[in-house]
Structure 1
Amino acid sequence: MITDAAAMVLLGAASITDIKSRKIPNGLTVSSTGLGLLYYVVTQGISGLWFSGAGMLLGFLLLFLLYLFKVVGAGDVKLFAALGAWAGAALVWSIFVYSILIGGMIGLFLLLYHFRSYGTRFAQVILVTLGLRNLVVLKEHLKRPATFPFMIAVFPAALVAYFIG
């Protein structure tokens, strides 16, 4: 189906740019959102607009909440709006849930990896947090959070949502 192909091309392009530069271009997200809405209006009329618009709105709102807490970037928010415009609300919800689960597993892996690599520093942060003996260590640790491009979780999540359910 053309909508599935469009969503996968969107996700593939966003994954490449996010992994390479940690940015998802506005040209990609905004044009994809507009094309998704236009496609559904042309092919299904007002019901297509509702389907695509609801998906766009849900995708935007879900990621905007994460953006407010600085969990994801603005490009991810716009990407989920575009993805919702092509995939609809039900599928964008599934992709979101799987993305959070996969992202959590990646985060746990990174935490365990960094704990192994920086165990002493991690222990200092815990002790500082509990005992408040040296706030400088805590401030230094908080300046360098371990992050990863969210598309590393979103692309496999979309594959799971499309092919498994």
Structure 2
Amino acid sequence: MDELSEWLPTLGSVLIVGIPAVAGLALISAGVRRWIRHRSLAGSGHRATAVVVDNQLQSRSEGQTHFRPVVTFRTAAGQELKTVVDLPQSRSYLTGTEFEIYYDPQRPTEVTPVRNGQRGTITYLVFGVVFLVFALFAYQLTSTMFEEFEDFGDVDLTWP
């Protein structure tokens, strides 16, 4: 029983506290990266008008399908490029639809829309904070629970 009482609190903490905490930090990190990327392209990128030429289908869980627009645009140097914009929605984009984008002149296929470029960033941040708050409460709960478990650990379970 002593071996069980030594590693069970550690395992419980890892499963109940560690996994949600890591997930929360990963979501916050992804949200911050998206925000920085958008701000960087908005500040130093070039602006262009993109035209939707196709849709890229993206299958999600539970049979959901999202569409991301495949667009063409002309750079300031006159180069015609085709790329996929990370702007998923549940309905397909209409071919010929125009919208403004920012692109990186060093890597012109890296684009972000001028409007709704922050779409999803807030969601990542909110869910990340929710996971971290859950991990904090789970830590408080497990530390109290495992303190009581250690008091119970002196029972002799050997068969007579």
Common fold: TM-score over 0.5? no
Q: Which has the bigger relative contact order, CA under 8 A and spacing at least 6? A: 2
Using structure 2 for the length normalisation, give the TM-score. 0.28
- Which protein is bigger by CA-based radius of gyration? 2
- Considering fraction of residues, name the structure with more helix: 1
